[in-house]
Structure 1
């Protein structure tokens, strides 16, 4: 994984739950069939109540009609991102849709752990309410080594909380891959 992530922002509000991230009716697709896996990306952030709780102005869809991936690689959100049920399909669906990182004020604990443990997306935290200053479509550049995000559209740079070993775990592909790589568990 590179130390720079650059892409368009998709801005959400607070309390975005896992049913908004990937609605329960879409949990029927196979996780091993490549054609069905694409459907997780297609339906990422398609939860019906999303429009009432933080969808960007103008109801911009996260994934365009007829596509399986999003044009947005960085999600900006408020507090309590990923609340609700503990489905690990939620960060998986975001990864399949092309998301590389989420920057939120806070996360539901199980969603955060699922992001890291599965090696799906990087879950950054920040004390700054970026959802109030960044706009959907802004071009962002995250410097993982410096723990900063630069809004290339506005020219402003913001500090992010340090990731610690979280980056190494996500980069390795999840907690078990990281443990094997670091010789923290028996090799089989």
Structure 2
């Protein structure tokens, strides 16, 4: 029996929210400051509430669920710290940037945090603008200015898109173990009993 991922999973990659703007070369070290998060010098504050403390003190406490990050070039550069998990725990709905580092991109996808490379987006958006991101279609709509920008979307059958559609890496692995063939976009029969009597 062939089944495709349900339309509601594709629709789940449409995110709307308020924009928080950051510049170029925003490092994962700023998202996940080592002195507080890694060294245990957290003053009793949960790790996700230290995001961007060095460059925007108190920012994490202003974020509301569904808010979006818009950034310039090379967002998530630096170390391999998984700042995407903290952003997701904070309630960030998605990240869209002129460009995103590959390590951050993969960490974000694995954490089920939608992320888009969209050259020119930092010029389209001002902080506080209301945005609608459609990760599947590759569009960023600015409801405040009524302007739209299109980027090249990830193919639906690409591994990163399949992981996002599954809800992150762990749910994706569970789907594959249950017989979902991400290359074909359908469930494959479980044949292990034929070989292991």
Task: Pick the TM interval, shorter chain.
Answer: 0.7 to 0.9
Q: Any conservation in 1 of the 2:124–2:147 contact (CA below 8 Å)?
A: no
The counterpart of 1:87, out of the listed 81, 85, 94, is 81
Unaligned runs of 5+ in 1: 31-35, 52-58
Distance 1:29 1:4, change over 3 A: farther
1:169 matches 2:176: no
Corresponding residue pairs, total: 165
Equivalence for 1:54 = none
* SS of alignment partner, residue 103 of structure 1: strand
RMSD: 2.9
Please identify, of 20-29 and 146-155, the stretch whose mean Cα deviation from structure 2 is larger. 20-29
The counterpart of 2:59, out of the listed 56, 59, 62, is 62
Aligned mates of 1:26, 1:167 — CA distance in 2: 33
Between Structure 1 and Structure 2, whose CA radius of gyration is higher? 2
TM-score (norm. length: structure 1): 0.75
Q: Any conservation in 1 of the 2:114–2:135 contact (CA below 8 Å)?
A: no
The counterpart of 2:148, out of the listed 135, 157, 165, is 157
1:7 matches 2:17: yes
Deviations 1:48-87 (A, max 9, x none): 2x36xxxxxxx8x5323xx6x5466211111111111101
Q: CA deviation at 1:115?
A: 0.9
TM-score (norm. length: structure 2): 0.72
Unaligned runs of 5+ in 2: 1-8, 183-189, 193-197
Aligned mates of 2:110, 2:135 — CA distance in 1: 19
